[in-house]
Amino acid sequence: MRTRLLVAAHTLLLFCTVCSADPLNSPRTPPTSQPLKEHTDAPFQLNVHLIAMGADGDGGEIDVTIFFSSHYAVEFDPDDPEEPVVVYDLESLSWRDFSPARTITMKHCEAWQKASADISRKSIAKVMDPTLKKFIEFMLNPRFKTTRDGDTIEMDNDAFTYRMTDPLALSARQRSRFFAYDRLNAYRKAMIERKLPPTAQLAVDGELERQNFVPGIIDVAVRAPNGQINMTMRVRLAQLGPDDAERVAEAIRLAEDAAK
């Protein structure tokens, strides 16, 4: 049950990546990297810790790390830290999966999103439960109400509440790379898990990018038809250590070679 809850949280929450390991058994060893200096364009990593809790009180935790170098973002297999899972190209707006080996472009994403949204809208007409129907409609067209008070941004509708605080000290270029990654990651998760289009996440990304705001703490309430899911995510910004920089560079080389 806890694993299923985290899968649901993984699908819905902003900034989370797809991991193949059991979330509840993910390593909790603190990263050895040093804090990143403010306002640089240096390579960096985001260490993410997610806690999810369902309506029945069942929940769990997961840790993921995303590495940024040049115009790439890289994720590794949690069970094998030398094995890259995906390399995102943040300039061409594409990604390279290693298993199965394939390259997905933004053109593929947009075509999939349109087809998936069309199918979902047709399916809504067949849904008899009004609560479920309304929830799906907000997934497809979130229509968030957004407020900001200092370093707190809240985005809310009848299905979701995002409360985002503690903005990270990223340079303009790093923020641009982050949002390019997060949009690609949203599409990748949805396409792999065959979920609804990531319209809500894309809407949140668009508003946060407009306000130059990458949150370090995100609290989310998802009012799903079968009960509310509450999630808290904390993001720590760090620079890459020498060992991480070496394996990230090798993953990027593999992705570039595959694209030739």
Tens of pLDDT along the chain (260 residues)? 444 444 444 444 444 333 323 333 333 333 333 334 444 578 999 999 999 998 788 889 999 999 999 999 999 998 899 999 999 999 999 999 999 999 999 999 999 999 999 998 888 888 989 999 999 999 899 999 999 999 999 999 999 999 999 999 999 999 999 999 999 999 999 999 887 899 999 999 999 999 999 999 999 999 989 899 999 999 999 999 999 999 999 999 999 998 87
- What separation in angstroms does the CA of 51 have from each of 46, 151, 161, 226? 16, 22, 16, 19
Choose among 219, 213, 187: nearest CA to 200. 187
Distance CA 13, CA 113 (A): 18
Between the CA of residue 12 and those of 64, 78, 98, 125, 162, what are the distances in Å?
Answer: 15, 21, 24, 23, 11
Residues 6+ apart with CB under 8 A from 118: none
Can you give the residue range of the structural domain that contains 44? 2-259
Q: What is the signed CA dihedral for 226, 228, 234, 240, rounded to 10 degrees? A: 10
> What pTM, to 2 d.p., does this model score?
0.83
Give yes or no for a contact between 240 and 248, defined as CB atoms under 8 angstroms apart.
yes
72-77 and 80-89 beta bridge pairing: antiparallel
Strands 80-89 and 94-98: antiparallel
What pLDDT, on a 0 to 100 scale, did the predictor assign at position 28? 34
The enclosing H or E element of 153 equals strand 152-156
- Tally of domains in the chain: 1
Q: Is 215 helix (H, G, I), strand (E, B) or coil?
A: strand
Residues 6 or more apart from 7 whose CB is under 8 A from it?
23
pLDDT reported for residue 40: 57
Count Cβ neighbours within 10 Å for each residue of 30-55 and write b for 16 or more, e otherwise.
eeebeebeeeeeebbbbbbebebbbe
